[in-house]
Amino acid sequence: MLKALPARFLVSPEPWGRRRRPRPRSLRPISAALMTNPAYFEVGRLLGNYGFMNITSYSSSQSGGLPNDAVNQDLSLGYSPEEIERLRVQDVGEGQVKIRLYEGRVVQGPLKGTQTVFKVYPGAIAGASEANLMALNELRTHAFLQSDARDICENIQFLLGAFETATGEQWLAFRDDGRYSAADYAKITSERQLKERPNFWNPYDRAYKLELRKYFVLRLLNGAMCGLVHMHNHDRLHQSLGPSSVVLNTVAEKNGYYLLPQLRDLAFSVDIGYSSVGVGALSDGLWRRASAAGASTPLEKRAFGVADDIYGAGLLIAYMAFIPFCEAGIMDSISLQRLLENTFRLDIYAAREYESLEQNIYMVLPGR
């Protein structure tokens, strides 16, 4: 069971040891009803394009160049070699569907003036049958999670409405609560470290910035995990969780107190209600992997699906624990995943000990 962060992490660090007292966030009342008339919206400029990341398969864990058999034995966590070989790791691939993002706003109704972000799936003319399935699945998932206006999670992107154009394109309109992603934040932060120079006038400047960064990352991860827990509590899996699927309202670490992380990209979400386990056009791969892992009953497949999502959340935590604190180019998400899965064989304690040693060596190098 995931718990909220301790109170000492939920206040913003201030200079000279002072801490800001948390203030309750006043959320504007929202309606769970969806707007389906395109006349309610005004479309603005194109923001960009991107593809979805989804877990495509599992592959056997490899040794990854561990120094010797003795170390392999230390990292086996008490499992036999046969059991270690049965361990499967996630292969994540980018799908064929490319979507477009536009800015816009609501021009009619009670939410008039609300800023929006449109997610546009290619239409039938482009032969995008998979895109139609993804758009429909994302629409249904958001509609289900927003069906009770008293139980709407602030850590999941809010859908305002949806409509289809004459060309068959599916337009989903989301409230614009932020346009940055966790991946954007990590990239900006790591690139900034290349340009930063030591502040000789204030020897505590570097330590203070590091505390701000730690606090920001903790807030980011706490919000993402709260959104994921909400989905699981309502019998939904995310299945596309990663740094690009967490949207942020700010990337300024000094504004970490006001950070609001939200999960997005629910196109591959899976219904794990007991009557729905094992079915779904977009979840065939998940259920095949569950069967290959030995899950046969609906309860076992459901547990496998939840564990699969939690594994993705663990990779997100590892990404945010490393990338924002590294200089650009030192580490990327794929290299980090292979390092944890292949070299350390998912032994987090060994990985932490190794990285602590590396950090100590780095700190005593000349000029550091």
Q: How many residues does the chain have?
A: 368
Reported as a single tens digit per residue, the pLDDT across 192-202 is 887 776 666 67
List helix spans (H) across 63-125: 69-74, 81-86
Count other Cβ atoms within 10 Å, centred on residue 259: 23
Class of domain 180-331: mainly alpha
Task: Look up residue 333 and give its two tokens.
Answer: 């998400």
Q: Where in the sequence of the chain do the CATH 3.30.200.20 domains occur? A: 38-57+93-175
Q: Are 229 and 192 in contact (CB under 8 A)?
A: no
> In the prediction, which pLDDT does 5 show?
44
Sign of the CA dihedral with 265 first, then 266, 267, and 270 last: positive
CATH class of the domain at 38-57+93-175:
alpha beta
Distance in angstroms (rounded) separating the CA atoms of residues 221 and 53: 19
List, in sequence order, every residue forming a beta bridge with 172; answer none if it has no partner. Answer: 119, 162
327 vs 308: CA distance, rounded Å = 30
Crossing angle between the packed helical segments 298-322 and 182-195, to the nearest 10 degrees: 20
Q: Which amino acid is at 56?
A: T
Do 30 and 106 touch, CB atoms closer than 8 A? no
Q: Return averaged pLDDT per consecutive 10 residues of the chain, 368 residues in all.
A: 43 45 46 81 89 50 38 39 42 64 93 95 70 92 94 96 90 95 93 75 79 96 97 95 94 94 95 89 90 92 95 91 82 74 74 66 47
Residues of the chain with CATH 1.10.510: 180-331
pTM of the entire predicted model: 0.75
Residue in the structure block whose two tokens are 């309502």: 234
Tens of pLDDT, residue by residue over 233-285, are: 999 999 999 999 999 999 999 999 999 999 999 999 999 998 888 888 888 89
SS3 content of the chain, % helix, strand, coil (to 5): 45, 20, 35
CB 115 within 8 A of CB 41: no
Q: What is the pLDDT of residue 358?
A: 58
How far apart, in whole angstroms, are the C-alpha atoms of residue 101 and residue 22?
Answer: 34
CA–CA distance, 137 with 145 (Å, rounded to integer): 12
Distance CA 267, CA 280 (A): 12
Distances (CA, A) of 8 to 19, 206, 210: 9, 21, 16
Residue 333: CA atoms inside 13 Å, Cβ hemisphere, count?
A: 21
Q: Write down the pLDDT at residue 53.
A: 54
Give, to the nearest 10 degrees, the angle between helix 205-233 and helix 182-195.
170
